[in-house]
Amino acid sequence: MRQAVAARRALSESVLAELRPSYPLLDQYKDWAVVNTEKVQWGDLDAFNHVNNCVFLRYFENARFQMIEEMSKEYDAGWSEGKGASVIMADNYVRYRSPLYHPDEIATVVRAEDAREADMYIAFKILSKQQNKVVAEGRGRLVSFDYGKGCKVPFPTAVLDAIRNMQGSDFEVSTEQ
């Protein structure tokens, strides 16, 4: 199983200072919750010698899981392990902006957006170190799901509070469904 090189909580000035030499664009995403950095692997390439389109979803997944692990530090109850009430991915969207090649390193930033009682959208951007630009962006919908009962449930207040703590006060939950 591949491991992320590093995951960080909200992009504080110390995190930005550490990563800025490699990823100057990160300053634009300092209000995002998590940044996950990793190396592009040779096995990520397809027959056209660029990263295969499905691999971008794995990069998103790695960053999303880092966000879930960070939230679980403040609210656990098995949430990061898919026990009881947790989350399930309902859909994904990817916009490919530029091919990604090997060798390279990427930084994937993620943040929660458009939250409602039992689901929320999360946004992703993948930044290439070599190209110094966003090579892909995406959005996914997470649903709060009780694996024991097999149904959708409201997000625990503590989970929403953990996201607020990670991203700042601009994270809000809508009452609309």
Secondary structure letter of residue 115 according to DSSP: B
Spatial distance between the Cα atoms of 146 and 67, rounded to a whole number of angstroms: 19
Condensed to tens digits (0 to 9), the pLDDT of residues 42-77 reads 999 999 999 999 999 999 999 998 888 877 776 666
Q: Using 50, 70 and 90 to split pLDDT, how confident is the model at 80?
A: low
Condensed to tens digits (0 to 9), the pLDDT of residues 25-35 reads 888 888 888 88
Burial 22-55 (b: 16+ CB within 10 A, else e): ebebbeebeebbbbbbbebeeebbeeeebbeeeb
Contact between 85 and 146 (Cβ < 8 Å): yes
pTM to 2 decimal places: 0.85
Residue with the larger pLDDT of the pair 140 and 3: 140
Count of other CB atoms within 10 angstroms of residue 4 = 16
Mean pLDDT on 13-40 = 84
Phi, psi for residue 41 in degrees, rounded to 5: -90, 150
Residue 177: the pLDDT is 57
Q: Using 50, 70 and 90 to split pLDDT, how confident is the model at 5?
A: very low
Contact between 133 and 98 (Cβ < 8 Å): yes
Secondary structure letter of residue 99 according to DSSP: -
Residue 3: the pLDDT is 38
| Mean pLDDT, all residues of the chain | 85
Spatial distance between the Cα atoms of 138 and 125, rounded to a whole number of angstroms: 6
Yes or no: is domain 6-167 CATH 3.10.129.10?
yes
Q: Structural domain boundaries of the chain? A: 6-167
Render 58-118 in DSSP notation, one character per residue.
Answer: HHHHHHHHHHHHHHHHHS-TTGGGT-SEEEEEEEEEEEE-S---SS-EEEEEEEEESB-SS
Residues 6+ apart with CB under 8 A from 29: 11, 35, 109, 125
Residue with the larger pLDDT of the pair 13 and 137: 137
Residue type, 32: W
pLDDT at 82 over 80: no
Count of other CB atoms within 10 angstroms of residue 98 = 13
